Structure 1
Amino acid sequence: MTDATARVRELNLYRQYFDLVTAGTKTIEVRVKYPHLTDLAAGDTIRFRMKGTDEICEVRVVRVTEYADFEALLDGEGPANVNPTATREKQLTNIQAIYPPEKEALGALAIEIDTCHPEP
């Protein structure tokens, strides 16, 4: 992807995940394959906003991989890359609490991210 076609996306994160991204320990972001994310690609920038605040952190998208569901995503990407502070089972429970079955049925995206640049 060239700079001319790279895009900036804005997405919200809960505090626990925002802190992992800013620390550089969370390298895989999990999202449902919503229509507005289907063209997300390597080279794009994601501007994460800490939910309910003005805190932001920009990351570069390294790769986007689609999975049928969250279990396949965790098995394919490795739970430590998604959340190094929680077990696979706890992560699956947390992700499914955010995204109910009808959302998960859309498909799961593993978004590999790199180089967090927090902004004040």
Structure 2
Amino acid sequence: MTETHTYVRELNLYRQYFDLVSAGTKTIEVRVKYPHLADLAAGDTIRFRIKGTDETCEVKVVRVTEYADFEALLDSEGPSNVNPTATRDQQLANIRAIYPPEKEALGTLAIQIRPLG
């Protein structure tokens, strides 16, 4: 008998993105490929939390795709899947305000998600 393990990751999310995720309108979460996310895989669960609050929402990871940079990620995944309320250029500026160039150089992850519940 083989066992399958699914993991629950806890990640912080800004309010504006949390609201989009919990509404189901943000289907791609963007992250830098930090070591603790390197083994993130389809089937895992992410519990997003607004930092400093008890507000959480859980999503199932559908797919994880790595890109060299945020521009390639947005061009491939489609800006409206990342943030349906902002243009591609606004999103690129917002993402790079969160992740400076040395972080982006680690690689970027497009995490396709769907709400649980």
- Counterpart in 2 of 1:23? 23
- Cα distance, 1:70 vs. partner? 0.3
Structure with the larger strand share = 1
TM-superposed deviation, 1:3: 7.0
2:105 maps to amino acid: A
Return the TM-score normalized by structure 2. 0.96
Q: Secondary structure at the match of 1:36?
A: helix
The count of corresponding residues between Structure 1 and Structure 2 is: 116
State the alpha-carbon separation in 2 of the partners of residues 14 and 68 from structure 1: 24
- Of stretches 44-53 and 28-37 in structure 1, the one that deviates more from structure 2 is 44-53
2:34 counterpart residue number:
34
Asked whether the equivalents of residues 66 and 107 of structure 2 are also in contact (C-alpha less than 8 Å), the reply is yes
Q: How does 1:67-106 map to 2 (within 5 A)?
A: 67-106=67-106
CA distance in 2, matches of 1:3, 1:40: 17
Contact 1:61 1:113 in 2 (8 A): yes
1:52 Cα shift? Answer: 2.1
Matches of 2:22 and 2:6 in 1, distance apart? 22
Q: Which runs of 4+ in 1 moved over 3 A?
A: none
- Amino acid of the structure 1 residue aligned with 2:93: T
1:31 Cα offset (Å): 0.2
Q: What TM-score do you get using the length of structure 1 for normalisation?
A: 0.93
Sequence identity, in percent? 81
Q: Could you tell me whether the CA contact under 8 Å between 1:21 and 1:116 is conserved in 2?
A: no
The equivalent residue for 1:51 is 51
